[in-house]
Structures are given as structure tokens and as C-alpha cells.
Structure 1
Amino acid sequence: MQRTETCNDFDAQKFVDNLLENGSKIGCNTSVCEKCDLPPFYDDQVFKKGQQFFYKHIFAMFFAKFNGLLAILAAPSVLKILMFTGKSSTDFTAYIRYVSTVFHMIIWYEEEFKPGSRVWKSLRQVNSKHNSASRKSCRSSFNKITQMDMALTQFGFMGFQVARPNLIGIHNASDEEFKAFIHFWKVVGYLMGIEDRFNICRDSVKESREICNILINQIFHPQIVKKDEKFLKMARHLIRGMWSMHPILSFKTMMNYLHFLVKPSHCSLTNNNNVNIDKNEYFQLNFANNIRLIIVNYSIRVLLKYHIFRIIFNWLEHLCLWFMKVFPILAYYSFGTKNSLVKINV
């Protein structure tokens, strides 16, 4: 009889080593969504709890995902693909790309999940775009999108929530809630073509957290501290593009917080709120950016501990989403009215 792997015999470092060594050589399974089959491990009730967990912490979730998207830009292979496609190489194209990503993601979190649903159509549409980018990259003598690239991208959407919950505003969440959230992204990762052996979302919260922490230590932190010019350029476009959704954003403020977020020392803290942020450690901040950083830091790490503030901040996030869908006034100001209203055909 085949032995079932348990949490006790799981080695997160070996998992990551395999992902980086073998996952970087294997392309994504592009046909999963086409088969219209649910993953064999799919649990409808747990998946729905994962959706509910997102909305319970929607403000913190968006903050975490924003930092996650910044972090994956630092991964050389992912950055190379994004620069090749040119879909986020200006403030405006970054705005279009990432707002459409937000709209797709909202569908995944709020709709009934089954073959033929809007969720399924949205996932197939996103998968198709990945496939197109991968084929174009191959034709131009670049590498195709690999299992490693997709796993790192998966981290961008769930990694900081799992590895740094208190530092991104998710306080007092239970293991059951995290397990449901991880299951949600395990399902999405599967449908995006990530093989089970490379899927960083596992059944155990502990295992998933260990993997995410190792990825932060080995990939994201070393690359972010390098301050590669191409990475900083793409990060600047992302932040300026998404300023239209969250006007408190500024490049140096967010990069300083991201640098604070990926510090390896946070991994060993049981309560990672008990750390101080050095406001000038990554970039020297002027008075206005320093005030922004204080507001962000205090809101995320202090105010969101309290239920009433979580309700207020969540309401503000819903309001931002409504404006982006109906009347993106700041985008009109930044990019003009002609193309600033983003629509996805799902």
C-alpha cells in the first residue's frame, strides 16, 4: 500500500528546491480549463468558506495582493515575460492589466463555482491570455511560462496572507479560515495549469506557510534588495497605474513597506506585529511619503485589529471597487476618459 504523506514527513525546503529546479523546466498544463472538470480534491463547502474569508478581510486582502503583485515582479523569469508582453510597461497599460485582473479575481470570489459558470469562463479567459503570452515568448526565443512562474504568481495572490497575516492586516483569523483560503487558491492554481507537485497551496496550513516563507527568503527578499532597474521600473508603473484605485499609494512608500514585509526575520515571530519599520531603509522618504507610510502602517497593523475599523475599511474597499467599475474618476484624470473604463467580457 502506498504511504500517505503527512505533515510530519513533509519537507518544505525539498518542495521549494524541486519547484525551482524542475518546475522551471516544465511548462504549464494549458488544457485543464478546457476539460471542464473540477479538481479531484475540490470541496464545495471549503471553497465557499474561502470566498467568505476574502470578503471578511477584503481591504487587507487587496493590500496583500497588491504587495504580492509587486513582489513577483522581482522574480527574474516572471519579470522577463511581463516585459516581453509589454502589457504593463507604462502606467496606463499597467492600469488596464491590473484592474482587469482585479475584476476577474472578484468574479472568482463572488460567483458560484462550477463548469460553465462565470467563474469558469473567467478562469478560461485568463488561462488563454497566459497561453498566448507563453506561445509568443517561445516564438521569440524566450522561455515559455513554466510551472515555477505560475507557482510564484500564485504566491502573489495568497502568499503574504498566509505568511505575514498580521503585517498585511488579517488579525485573529482561525486555521480553519486559512485552510479554506488556501483551498480556494489550490483550486485556482490547478485550473491555471499548476501540477499538484508544484502547487504551493497544500492541505496543511503549516506546510503552505512554510513554503511561502521559504519563497520569501530565497526568491523575493534577495531580488527586491537588489533594486534591479527593470524591476523598479515595472513596480513604478504598477503603483502609478493602481493609484487610480487607491490614491494613498506612492512608489517609494509602497516599496519601503514591501521591503519591510519580505524581511526573513519575520518568519520566526509568532506575532509579527512586534516589529518596527524603518521608514528610510529602502528609499529615503520625504515628508509626504513618510506620512503616507505612517498611515498605511498604523491602519494595517493596529486599526484593522478592531472589528469596527475592519468594517469601515472593508466598506471603503467596496466603494473603491464600485468607482472603478462605474466611474473611475481618478483614472479619467490620469489617463483621459476614452479608455479608462475597464470592462471584461465574461
Structure 2
Amino acid sequence: MIIVNNVRQSVENRWRDLVDNGKRFTGISPNVDPNTPPDWFNANKFRKSQQLGRKYYGSLGFGQFLGLMVMLYHTEAYATLTSTGQSSNVQKLFRRYLSTLVHVKHWFDFDPFDVNSQAYQSLKYVRGLHRQVASMLTTKWERMEGRDDLPISQYGMTHAQFAFTGFVALYPKQCGLHGLSDDDFDCLLYFWRVIGYCLGCDDRFNLCNGTADEVVGLCQLMFTREWYPLMSADLPVCEGGVEMAKGICLAMNQLARFISYDVIMKYWYPILSIDNKTVELQTYSEIFCI
């Protein structure tokens, strides 16, 4: 019980630091050197995490897809994504999220600290894109680091980490991850600690920094306090974000016919205890997916 209480307090402290301070720090931390593994990096553990990622790629992708959709319920995340003009129609959404799948595949396959690897080049490209968008929006919105909430902040990067691993951390079996040992589960979280670092997450704000219990606890707080109120609201707080999530499903349906906004929410609403929302499936193809 003492351990549980200590973990709970640690998670609460990290959450408060993230909310109170993480929004004012740029998303690409000056404390991160993407060319050099951090002191805590364990090459063997990371290689194992990559092997597990390749083995469970489909199940991980299922959880990640929900996370990427839910991220759009947040007004600022939606504003950031729409600022590039790469999400204005279904065709652009398809290219954007297919590109995301390719990037993640590279991260699972190659060494992120080898400057000649596809993973390193991919991460370098994503960091550059984040830096470019952040600079543009910081100027446009007249924000100042250390004083104002920033676009693509450390807080925003933690949101992005949650999009990729939050639902997998909270609901591994519901994502299709059965039979994982505690060590395997820890390795899957460790993967996103490393990738988060490579993308610019400061250790102070890195969602996956800490024990598995701490990471799951922080994910639970983040979902309960941020995403659950947005998802369960009778009227969408960010209507444009919900419509973009539906557009992503329509776009990615070209890759897998089971991808449908209604099907996904029909599955996840009961799991997430969103009891005030019901979904009526309209077509045989949607019904048979469930």
C-alpha cells in the first residue's frame, strides 16, 4: 500500500508539473542530443522493444489509431495540425497518416542513433517539421517561451506520446496484446521513452519516463482529466477535430475496410466508460466488423 501511495503521489506531482510548466517549454528540448543516446539508454532493452513492436505491430497500431483520433478532440492539437495545410481533404489526410505509419515502421526497424539509418533520418525530419511549425505558430500567435503557452510544447509532445502509446498502456488486452509478460510490457513503454527523447521530449516531461506503474498512472490521469471530458461531452468541444478524425477514418479505410469512425467508437465507448454515447452501425460491413 505504501508503494502504491508513493506511485500515486509521484504521478500527481508529474502531472501538475506537466500542466503548470510543460506548456511554456518548447517541444524540442535543448537538453536532448539526438545524436547521442542518453545515459539511461539500454541498447539491448531497446532492441527487444523493437522486436516486440514488430511482433505486435497490428495490435499496437489499433491502440495508436484511437490515440491519434482522440488527440484531435483537443482544440490546440487540432489547430496545430491544421496549420500546415496537409489535412484539408481526405486525399491529404491519407498521405499524412500513411506517412506517419511509414515513420513508425522505421522506428521499429532501425537504430535511431545511427546517423545513416532510416530511423535517424525519419526522426530528424519529424523534428525539423515540428520546429518549423512551432516557429511559425509562435510568431503568428505572438507567444514567448517561458512566458506563454507554446504551440508544440513539452506538454504537447507528451500528448503526442499518449496518442501513440496511452491506450496501449491502459488497455493492452483490449488492443489485442495478450500474454505479455511484465518485462515485455515495460519494454513496449520503454520504446516510446526512447523515441520521445529522440523527438525532443525532456526527461522531466517524457510520458514514458519511470516505472511501468508510474507510466500507466500518468496515462490514466491524462485520460481521465483531459480526454474523457472531451470525448464524453454531449456536444464536441472541438467540432473540427471530430470531423477530422472521421476524415482520417474515411481516408485510411482505403488501406483496411474495417476502419470506420462508428465501428471504432462502438468498440471503445463501453471500454472507456463513455456511457452517454451510443453508436448505431449503418451498413453490413460495419456490423460484421463488430
Q: TM-score, normalised on structure 2?
A: 0.87
Cα distance in 1 for partners of 2:111, 2:29 equals 23
2:256 partner SS:
coil
Structure 2 stretches of 5 or more lacking a match? Answer: 143-149
Task: Report the Cα distance in structure 2 between the residues aligned to 1:282 and 1:38, rounded to whole angstroms.
Answer: 46
| 1:183 is the counterpart of 2:180 | no
Q: Distance in 2 between matches of 1:263 and 1:98?
A: 28
- 1:284 corresponds to which residue? 280
How many residue pairs match? The answer is 275
Q: Distance in 2 between matches of 1:27 and 1:125?
A: 17
Match of 2:140 in 1: 140
Q: Paired residue for 1:9, among 6, 15, 18?
A: 6
CA drift of 1:149 comes to 0.6
Q: Is the 8 A contact 1:216 1:262 kept in 2?
A: no
Distance in 2 of aligned mates of 1:30 and 1:18 = 16
What residue number does 2:147 align with? none
Equivalent residues of 2:29, 2:201 under 8 A apart: no
Structure 1 residues 13 and 89 mapped into 2: Cα distance closer, same or farther (>3 Å)?
farther
CA distance in 2, matches of 1:84, 1:63: 26
1:251 is the counterpart of 2:265: no
Are 1:239 and 2:239 counterparts? no
Q: Which has the higher contact order (CA 8 A, sep 6+)?
A: 2
SS state at 2:209 partner: coil
Q: Which amino acid aligns with 1:186?
A: R
One-letter code aligned to 1:246: A
Deviation digits for residues 93-142 of structure 1, max 9, x if unmatched?
A: 11111111110110110113433122111111111111111111122216
- Structure 2 contact 260–286 (Cα < 8 Å) conserved: no
Per-residue CA deviations over 1:159-193 (Å, capped at 9, x if unaligned) read: 11111111111112111011111111101111111
Give the structure 1 partner of residue 104 of structure 2. 105
SS at match of 2:18: helix
Q: Which residues of 2 match residues 38-57 of structure 1 at below 5 A?
A: 38-57=37-56
CA distance in 1, matches of 2:270, 2:92: 28
1:91-130 matched pairs, under 5 angstroms: 91-116=90-115, 117-130=117-130
Distance in structure 1 (CA, Å) of the matches to 2:77 and 2:272: 18
Displacement after TM superposition at 1:256 (Å): 3.0
CA distance in 2, matches of 1:238, 1:290: 16
1:260 pairs with one of 257, 270, 286:
270
Which has the higher mean CA deviation after the structures are superposed, 53-62 or 26-35?
26-35
CA distance 1:261–1:136, shift in 2 (3 Å) = farther
Distance of 2:271 and 2:248 partners within structure 1: 18
Matched, 1:218 2:225: yes
Alpha carbons of 1:106 and 1:229: their partners in 2 closer, same or farther (altered >3 Å)? same
Separation in 2 of the partners of 1:170 and 1:225?
Answer: 26
Runs (4+) of structure 1 exceeding 6 A deviation are: none
- CA distance in structure 1 between the aligned counterparts of 2:44 and 2:105, rounded to whole angstroms: 19
RMSD of the TM alignment (CA)?
2.2
Report the residue type matching 2:71 in the other structure: I
User: What is the rounded CA distance, in whole Å, between the counterparts of 2:211 and 2:189 in structure 1?
Assistant: 9
Provide the rounded CA distance (Å) in 1 between the counterparts of 2:120 and 2:4. 31
Tell me, yes or no, if the aligned pair for 1:34 and 1:124 is still in contact at 8 Å. Answer: no
Give, as a single letter, the amino acid of the residue that structure 2 aligns with 1:119: A
Amino acid at match of 1:241: A
Distance in structure 1 (CA, Å) of the matches to 2:19 and 2:269? 22
Answer whether contact 1:88 1:237 (CA < 8 A) is retained: no
User: Over residues 70-105 of structure 1, what are the superposed CA-to-partner deviations in whole Å (9 max), with x where a residue is unaligned?
Assistant: 111112221121122222232111111111111011
What one-letter code is carried by the residue in structure 2 that aligns with 1:250? S
Is the 2:263–2:286 Cα contact (8 Å) retained in structure 1? yes
Query: 1:18 maps to what in 2?
Result: 17
- Structure 1: how far apart are the matches of 2:56 and 2:263? 22
Gaps of 5+ in 1: 1-5, 265-277, 295-346
Kindly state the Cα deviation for residue 45 of structure 1 after the two structures are TM-superposed: 0.6
- Partner SS for 2:121: helix
Residue range with higher mean Cα deviation, 134-143 or 182-191 = 134-143
Question: Which of 164-173 and 7-16 deviates more?
Answer: 7-16
Distance in 2 separating the partners of 1:7 and 1:114: 35
After the TM superposition, which residues 314-329 of structure 1 pair with which residues of structure 2 at under 5 Å, given as runs? none
Percent identity, aligned pairs only, is 26
**Partner residue in 2 for 1:319:** none
Scaled by the length of structure 1, the TM-score of the pair is 0.74
